[in-house]
Every structure is written in C-alpha cells, then in structure tokens.
Structure 1
Amino acid sequence: MNIPRSVVGFLSSRGLVIATAESCTGGLIASLLADVPGSGACLDVGLVVYSPTGKCGVLNVRSQTIEEHGLTSEAVAREMATGVLALEGCSANIAVSNTGLAGPPPKGTDLPAGTQCFAWRYKRRDGEFMFAETRVFDGDRTTIRRNAALYALSRVEYYFNQLPNVRYARPGSPHSA
C-alpha cells in the first residue's frame, strides 16, 4: 500500500487540505505528499520547526510547555498542530505535527531513542478536534524519520473517521441546533 498516495486520494475525495508542522521528520511528511501527482490540491503548508525558538516563534508553542513536558512530548506536538493551523495564510483544515528523537536521547532525558510524538488537529464547522500519540520506532536515524513520517500520514484518515458524526438538520426541524 502506498500511504502517501492513499492520503492524497482520501483528502482530495473529501475536499480536505492538510498542513504539516515537523521537527524530527524535517519536512519528510510534506515531501512524501508532494511526491504524489495531484497533491497540490490538498497540501497547503509544510513547515520545519526544529529548534525550540522556531517552535515558539513561528508556531506559538509556549516555552512553559517545553519546560514542563520537554521538546519530545505530545503537549508540544499539540501546540505545533494548533500553531500551523492558526498561521495567517494557512487554509488547511487538517494539521499533522511531529517532534521526537531520531538518535540517542540528550543527557538527562529518559526517553528511548526513536521516540516520536504526533498530533493531528481537524478543523470543522462544528469545532476543532485533536488527537495525539507517542510511538517508539527502531532503526537508524533515516529509518526512524521515514517510518515516523509514514506513520503520521497513515493516521490522517484513521483519526478523521474517529471524529463525531454531526448531522446538520434543516432550520426548524426537531433536530436543528
């Protein structure tokens, strides 16, 4: 199964547009999508925000979040996904973000090598919904980054299918809001 092709097909068939905010994967998520013909209809923004200052300055990740949870955390991934969707000029309604360790962890960190934190944020008329996960991938730096990028993409449709089903009734009907 070609995951990027499947994601582009899924997004295109539903008129959805995606943005990425990537740290550890270094733009690989967006690059994998861009390799698929027709991806221009569903890929809006792809950002690489590797450093803490980049995360804070570009995506409005709070320094307090980094201090309390660490750079490799679901909390930071969530704020990255929120930040990319909030950027002026971003027209996406889905964001995927990634932050993690592709190699040995820095001193004082108890996270295993290959730890990757992800977040997926969905913006709809009835609200915004967020999902986050932490996974550990084996392999060398290149393998970890590639597998993390493919994993991030593989969960786009999965989490979309977890969103609440909202029925929009005609005004005045018994089920209208």
Structure 2
Amino acid sequence: MDIARQAVSFLTSRGLKLATAESCTAGFIASLISSVPGSGACLDVGFVTYSPSGKAGFLGVKKETMELHGLTSEAVAREMSEGALRQEACCADVAVSNTGVADSAPGGGPPPGTQCFAWSFRAPTGEFMTFSETKRFEGERNDVRRAAALYALSRIEHYFERRWSREKGGKSDE
C-alpha cells in the first residue's frame, strides 16, 4: 500500500483529522493526502507558509524562535504544527509540519536536502504532545520535496503510537 493511502486509512480508521503546516514541501503533503479517494474524511486544513512573515502571521511562530534556531529547525517545525492546531477554525486532532531547504541555501545555512518535521497531537484536554525530527534527503529539488512529504506522512502512525505510550507513562526515546 502506498504511503498516502496508508496514512488516510490510519487516520480514518481512528476518526482523526489532519492539518498540515508546510514550508519547503509547499502543500505537497496535503496534495498527497487529497489524491487518495475518501481523504475528505481525514483532511481538515493545510497551510503553506513559505516566508518568515507567513510562519509568524498565520501559524504564530515566534520571531525569536526563527532568529535563534533558524528557519530550518525542529523548534520552528514544532511551533508550526502546534500553530496549525491552535487556529480557531481548525478541527484537526493531528498536525504535521515541514520546514527545510531543498537545494543550496543562500548565504550558507543547512546542507541541501535538510528537512525538519514535527507531528503534534491534540489531547482531549486541549494540550499538545509534539514530536520532531531532522532528516536529510538526497536528490534534485523536487525529489527532496517529494521524499520529505512522503516521510512526513509515513511517521504519523509511529508518533501516534508513541503518544499513547507516553500518555500511559511509558518511556520516550525521541
């Protein structure tokens, strides 16, 4: 089964709604989900916030976080995914975010293909549990973007299970 179908199957089988907060992937994660028949049952909203002002204005990413950690950072990815879930009209239980560089960053910065992700889960109490990772992908610009989008979807179930383990007092090995 392909990754997008597997993600839709997982989300719908648990009655979960997904929000995406995308920078480098520029909507590719939401596009992959929406390509699956029946995805309307699990896709709530997608944000494409490519610029720092978009990340701050639409998702509430703090300017200080971007300055201190850089745009390609797990800290920014975490604030993006939690920011998506905080939006008044967002009905999602799960958010996935991505920020990174697909090719050479101007003026130095992280190596090409560096991608930062976060997966946030809304608890019934309204609190969030967020996991994050940094991964590097090889290839041309659009190869990196596609690989990052697929990776983001492939880890939803993994972190959902980790969330349950953590809530029940299990140990986390993030």
TM-score tier after normalising by the smaller chain length: over 0.9
1:129: which partner in 2? Answer: 129
2:172: which partner in 1? Answer: none
Instruction: Note the alpha carbon deviations across 1:106-137, whole angstroms, 9 max, x for none.
Output: 2142x110000000000122542110000000
2:142: which partner in 1? Answer: 142
Contact 2:82 2:128 in 1 (8 A): no
Contact 2:96 2:152 in 1 (8 A): yes
Alignment of 1:164-175 (within 5 A): 164-165=164-165
1:69: which partner in 2? Answer: 69
1:19: which partner in 2? Answer: 19
Query: Aligned partner of 2:59: which letter?
Result: L
1:56: which partner in 2? Answer: 56
Query: Aligned partner of 1:143: which letter?
Result: D
Quote the Cα distance in structure 2 between the aligned partners of 1:76 and 1:54: 12
Aligned residues: 166
TM-score (norm 1): 0.91
How far is the alpha carbon of 1:53 from its aligned partner?
0.3
Quote the Cα distance in structure 1 between the aligned partners of 2:156 and 2:144: 19
2:28: which partner in 1? Answer: 28
The two structures, once aligned, show a CA RMSD in angstroms of: 1.1
Instruction: Note the alpha carbon deviations across 1:72-108, whole angstroms, 9 max, x for none.
Output: 0000000000110001110000000000000102214
Contact 2:60 2:79 in 1 (8 A): yes
Quote the Cα distance in structure 1 between the aligned partners of 2:24 and 2:113: 10
2:37: which partner in 1? Answer: 37
Identity %: 58
How far is the alpha carbon of 1:48 from its aligned partner?
0.4
Gaps of 5+ in 1: 168-177
Contact 2:72 2:116 in 1 (8 A): yes
Quote the Cα distance in structure 1 between the aligned partners of 2:108 and 2:134: 19
Quote the Cα distance in structure 1 between the aligned partners of 2:129 and 2:45: 19
Alignment of 1:58-137 (within 5 A): 58-109=58-109, 111-125=110-124, 127-137=127-137
SS in 2 for 1:72: coil
SS in 1 for 2:163: coil
Asked which structure has the greater CA Rg, the reply is 1
TM-score (norm 2): 0.92
